[in-house]
Every structure is written in structure tokens, then in C-alpha cells.
Chain A
Amino acid sequence: AQSVTQLDSQVPVFEEAPVELRCNYSSSVSVYLFWYVQYPNQGLQLLLKYLSGSTLVKGINGFEAEFNKSQTSFHLRKPSVHISDTAEYFCAVSDVNQGGKLIFGQGTELSVKP
């Protein structure tokens, strides 16, 4: 069965510093991968997605993620964070071949401090 592990539940970082939010998945088949952001008391917003092609995916708000098939990872990065990036971030995976549903990780709370 598929599963998604977000290795850090909380990530504190100073403004303008780089950040990496880690996501690993377990699956023996081809997958689609997604990152979402959730601001307090709001729904989730899609940041970026990997369906096929280039393993480096660029998303909104200056975020990017790299698909690493051998390490089954899809880490999210931003070279310089802003206070406004403070939010919860969710990684999700789906099984390409079996039409499975999205499986979400438990979330990583990013806290950007001045």
C-alpha cells in the first residue's frame, strides 16, 4: 500500500533563509506527486505537481520540488522564504496505473521568523 512520510512536523526558519521540506513515499509503481499549502482556516492550494517529464518541478510562490525515483522522495525547496510563507505544507502521492486516490502526508508546519 502507498504511504507518504513528511519527515518534519515543524520547520522554523528565519526570513530570507533557504528551506527544504522533506517528503518520502513508498510505492512499487509509477506515481504522481503533489505539494499543497494551507494557510490558517483556509482550504488547501496546489503549489506544484509532478506527472511526468523533468524531475525538477517549479511551482507558485517561488517553490520548486525535485522528484528522485531512486530515493522515492519529492522534497520541496525555496531559496529565500518570506514571512508570508508561514503555513502548513502537505505532500501527496497517487498511483498512476491503478487509478488510486491521493494519499496525503501528515503535513509540515513552516514557521518563518523575522
Chain B
Amino acid sequence: DGGITQSPKYLFRKEGQNVTLSCEQNLNHDAMYWYRQDPGQGLRLIYYSQIVNDFQKGDIAEGYSVSREKKESFPLTVTSAQKNPTAFYLCASSIGTKYEQYFGPGTRLTVT
């Protein structure tokens, strides 16, 4: 079964801790993305990667970091510098940036 997996579904952290969200795809897609979703604000792009070992900042990259060491994996680290980290995080992939994106089930991060 091809698709995108994100784990865990729910994640709880204390303020001041870094946390890494997992995203894996077995669709053989070159491009991968991370979005943040807050109520009433649609999707906001955090980072994206078009190829292994390369990635670009999206609209709200501050306080986040990513790596792309393997084609199938694109983990997102939410650092303690992110002021409002509590949100729903979505990972996606596509064969190219202008084509349809396929989304994972999301990770809901709560920081207290």
C-alpha cells in the first residue's frame, strides 16, 4: 500500500523542548512538504524539499528545521524558538512541485 505516514498522531511536549515529527513516503516522490494548520487559517507552508539534501523555507519557517537525507523521509523539528508550536502539522509529497500533493494523516502537537 503506497502512501504517506506520519507519527505519532498526537504528541505532547513541555514548553522549551525540541520535538521531531516523522514523515515517511513510499510513493517514490521527489518533492516533500510540511504545512502547519491552525483553526480558520488554512494551510501555511513551513518547508519544502524538491530533492534529497536540499530544502527551501516556506512562508513560516522561523522556529522550525528540517532534513532530507533520504528520498522517503522528511522529518520536521519544532524548536523551542517557535513561539506558538501547538498546531496540526501535515506532511505531503508530490512527483514535482506543480503537481498534486498527497497528504499524510497529520500530527497534532500540543505544547504546554
Complexed CA–CA distance, A9 and B40 (Å): 9
Contact across chains for A104 and B43 when beta carbons are under 8 A apart: yes
Contact across chains for A101 and B97 when beta carbons are under 8 A apart: yes
Q: B43 — which chain A residues lie within 8 A by C-beta?
A: 44, 90, 104
Contact across chains for B98 and A43 when beta carbons are under 8 A apart: no
Which of A43, A94, A100, A106 lies in contact with B103, CB distance below 8 A?
A: A43
Q: B88 — which chain A residues lie within 8 A by C-beta?
A: 41
Complexed CA–CA distance, A56 and B98 (Å): 20
Contact across chains for A46 and B97 when beta carbons are under 8 A apart: no
Number of A positions contacting B (CB below 8 A)? 23
Contact across chains for A43 and B42 when beta carbons are under 8 A apart: no
Contact across chains for B98 and A90 when beta carbons are under 8 A apart: no
Closest to A9 in B: B40
Complexed CA–CA distance, A42 and B43 (Å): 13
A binding-site residues for B, Cβ under 8 Å: 9, 32, 34, 36, 41-46, 49, 90, 94-96, 99-102, 104-107
Query: Could you show 21 A-B contacts with beta carbons less than 8 Å apart?
Result: A32-B100, A34-B100, A42-B105, A43-B4, A43-B105, A43-B106, A46-B100, A90-B42, A94-B97, A94-B99, A99-B96, A100-B98, A101-B45, A101-B97, A102-B94, A102-B97, A102-B100, A102-B101, A104-B42, A106-B42, A107-B42
